[in-house]
Structure 1
Amino acid sequence: MSTALSAGNLAKRLKFKHLVLLDTLARTHNMHQAADLMSMTQPAASKILQDVEQIFGFAIFERLPRDMRPTELGGVVIRYAQQTLNATERFVDELANIQHGGYGNLLIGAIVDPAPDMLSLAILRLKERRPRLTVKIVAQTSDRLLAALEERRLDLVIGRFTSAHQHNIFSFTPLTTEPLHLVVSPRHPLLSRAHLTLADLADWPWIMHPLTSPTRQYIEEIFGRYDIATPGNVIETTSVFATMKLLQASDMIAVLAHSVVREYVEHGLLALLPVPLDRRLEDYGIITRKGDELTGPAGEFIELVCALSGAHMAA
């Protein structure tokens, strides 16, 4: 096995077929299935894995009787393989776009509750400058968006950090902190009650984000602070559209950002419960991969968002 690994040595010996096998095997945990998906025989796939492990000098997968699991070091190699394959797919798509008269792609990940006016206005201004640029927006929770950003499936994210270590791999430009509200239908029975407290809301049905999202963690923390059990009647969704429809058609409760519900409340489509939330959610901002040089559409979009919010770009 190899005793010394260098970038130059890796560039000479590592091939795309190696990366494809690692990605496929990580998804299937089965050599036979991986070989089928790659249209090759199982012995050929096994030989490729042996070659990769010889290049790196350690086992990438642990061979179990009916399973193949990544080793600790193997997990690092697999993440590199997946990031490289995703970056290659992005490169091919962008190149094809330009060859057919386009001007490239910009993939933006955005949480569902940042100021929608600011986001849409920044995109519209960017499209004025680059009318043939293809802009794709992925709306999800921060944890899923940051995973996609790390895997190079997104150019940037407007969201929040979800764990303490993420500042090591991402740069963060804070934009703003938005107040959150407890939102219900304008016909909700609780609106007629005086002196509402958080405990009064626990037995009602709720709409919440998944447990891994910062907004859900915020809700859990507030209930925990007052020693109140989290509501048990819950629908989980990250869709603003679904949340709005459910609120208007039921007696459910949701926590939503001010900018998301402002127009609905002004037009009498939704109402705010008079229960103050005693803390704010962490700032959201622009998140990018450390070390990436953001030029062209991505750099311009970040400049536009910062100008609209009054933020200063992270160095």
Structure 2
Amino acid sequence: MNKALNVQRLRFDLTTLRLLLATAELGSITRAAEAMAIATTAASRRIADIEEQFELQIFERRPHGMLPTEAGLALLGHARSMLRIVEHMHDDAQSFSGGGRGLVRLAVCTSAAIQFVPRDLQRHRQLYPQIDIEIMEATSRDVLKELMLGHTELAIAEAEALTPQDTGLVCHPYRSDRLALVTPRNHPLAATASIGIAQILDHALINLVEGSAIDRLLAAQAALHGRQLRCAVRVRSFETMLAMVRSEFGIGVVPESVAQWLAADPVFHHIPIHEDWALRRFIICHQPAPDVSSTTLTVARFLAGKELARMAQAGSENQQWRAAE
């Protein structure tokens, strides 16, 4: 049978695609059927039917559950992409329908979330009140994973967090920041005008959780100097880190703007880090076409500054055109 006829005989719906993904995630047809509120026999029949259509075994049946085959993993990737496209169709339809609103899910690393995103989203809402943005905050690596898995349409992360597994993403420059050291006022380093990694490593650090962008950066710098980080404690937020510094439990590395905002009290002392590694760059990423909606592209262009530049250029051209009249 030729390829055209094979394609024409395919018959499956979105429920079947969601069932495939749920079965792979939960490892069981029964649990997937329960999660989707359909009968187990009907769920089994749907999976058997799509396996028959593709003439492939998508799942390996085991005594304690279902495991995707190598072919199944490939088809599950396509199923995930197809569902993303349907979601984008829905978002675009909403944005064009009367009174409808578009929705974009944005995953943001903590440093960008606290420094840049609130003000940018406020300006975006003023220009595009019809677009709702749903925020998820996580580490840079985790927001990129969420994007690759299709759980979010946009991701803002530190550029250094990109790995070969992220190949194919479309990335735009977003913002940059510089790190600083925060110490208690009476700490031995408090008299230092500026500092480098060698001096920082001589003291106990209050550090973010393992795997966070700042943790990975400090660990990499320590390794370059043949040293190890001395972590007094690990915390999940800058607020908790600085509370520990306030209690003289150690010193902490944070973005300069975070230090100015959260450590403005005289009990703290800020020390600039003069070395190049302390300058970080952030990017905004999304999937390539056609796996991205026009609404998502509008938000991405705005956050990357491209939409404002386009509007400014259009405004300048309009002024020149009016002057020519």
- DSSP-derived class of the 1:13 partner: coil
Instruction: Name the CA distance, whole Å, in 2 between partners of 1:163 and 1:3.
Output: 41
1:263, distance to aligned residue in structure 2 (A): 3.1
1:167, distance to aligned residue in structure 2 (A): 5.7
Report the count of equivalent residues. Answer: 307
Instruction: Please say if residues 23 and 29 of structure 2, whose CA atoms lie closer than 8 Å, have aligned partners that are also in contact.
Output: yes
Q: Which moved more, 1:30-39 or 1:263-272?
A: 263-272
Unaligned runs of 5+ in 1: 311-315
Name the aligned partner's letter for residue 181 of structure 2. L
Instruction: Name the CA distance, whole Å, in 1 between partners of 2:74 and 2:101.
Output: 34
Name the aligned partner's letter for residue 145 of structure 1. V
Give the structure-2-normalised TM-score.
0.74
- DSSP-derived class of the 2:277 partner: coil
1:170, distance to aligned residue in structure 2 (A): 0.7
- DSSP-derived class of the 1:113 partner: helix
**2:322 paired residue number:** none
Larger helix percent = 2
Structure 1 residues 24 and 264 mapped into 2: Cα distance closer, same or farther (>3 Å)?
A: closer
Structure 1 residues 275 and 304 mapped into 2: Cα distance closer, same or farther (>3 Å)?
A: closer
- DSSP-derived class of the 2:181 partner: strand
Structure 1 residues 78 and 115 mapped into 2: Cα distance closer, same or farther (>3 Å)?
A: closer
**1:204 paired residue number:** 204
What are the within-5 Å matches in structure 2 for residues 273-284 of structure 1? 273=271, 277=275, 279-280=277-278, 283-284=281-282
What are the within-5 Å matches in structure 2 for residues 1-315 of structure 1? 4=3, 9=8, 12-85=10-83, 88=86, 101=99, 103-114=101-112, 118-161=116-159, 162-166=161-165, 168-186=167-185, 188=187, 190-191=189-190, 198=198, 201=201, 204-211=204-211, 213-237=212-236, 239-268=237-266, 270-273=268-271, 277=275, 279-280=277-278, 283-292=281-290, 295-296=294-295, 298-299=297-298, 302-303=301-302, 305-306=304-305
Name the aligned partner's letter for residue 112 of structure 1. T
Instruction: Name the CA distance, whole Å, in 2 between partners of 1:271 and 1:192.
Output: 9
Structure 1 residues 278 and 5 mapped into 2: Cα distance closer, same or farther (>3 Å)?
A: farther
- DSSP-derived class of the 1:134 partner: strand
Instruction: Name the CA distance, whole Å, in 2 between partners of 1:197 and 1:146.
Output: 28
1:102, distance to aligned residue in structure 2 (A): 5.1
Q: Which moved more, 1:278-287 or 1:185-194?
A: 185-194
Name the aligned partner's letter for residue 206 of structure 2. W
Instruction: Name the CA distance, whole Å, in 2 between partners of 1:148 and 1:91.
Output: 20
Q: Which moved more, 1:14-23 or 1:148-157?
A: 148-157
Instruction: Name the CA distance, whole Å, in 2 between partners of 1:55 and 1:170.
Output: 31
Name the aligned partner's letter for residue 156 of structure 2. I
1:50, distance to aligned residue in structure 2 (A): 1.7
1:294, distance to aligned residue in structure 2 (A): 5.7
1:101, distance to aligned residue in structure 2 (A): 4.4
Instruction: Name the CA distance, whole Å, in 2 between partners of 1:7 and 1:187.
Output: 75
Structure 1 residues 198 and 118 mapped into 2: Cα distance closer, same or farther (>3 Å)?
A: same
The structure that has the greater radius of gyration is: 2
1:221, distance to aligned residue in structure 2 (A): 0.8
Q: Deviations over 1:64-107 (max 9, x none)?
A: 23232222332232233344445656766886798894532232
Structure 1 residues 55 and 190 mapped into 2: Cα distance closer, same or farther (>3 Å)?
A: farther
1:184, distance to aligned residue in structure 2 (A): 3.5
Give the structure-1-normalised TM-score.
0.76
1:154, distance to aligned residue in structure 2 (A): 2.4
Q: Deviations over 1:1-25 (max 9, x none)?
A: x984899548x52212221221221
1:199, distance to aligned residue in structure 2 (A): 6.7
Instruction: Please say if residues 17 and 79 of structure 2, whose CA atoms lie closer than 8 Å, have aligned partners that are also in contact.
Output: yes
Structure 1 residues 103 and 32 mapped into 2: Cα distance closer, same or farther (>3 Å)?
A: closer
Instruction: Please say if residues 119 and 305 of structure 1, whose CA atoms lie closer than 8 Å, have aligned partners that are also in contact.
Output: no
Structure 1 residues 210 and 100 mapped into 2: Cα distance closer, same or farther (>3 Å)?
A: farther
Q: Deviations over 1:151-174 (max 9, x none)?
A: 333232221353442563211112
Larger strand percent = 2
Structure 1 residues 100 and 299 mapped into 2: Cα distance closer, same or farther (>3 Å)?
A: closer
Instruction: Name the CA distance, whole Å, in 1 between partners of 2:263 and 2:235.
Output: 22
Instruction: Please say if residues 179 and 273 of structure 2, whose CA atoms lie closer than 8 Å, have aligned partners that are also in contact.
Output: no
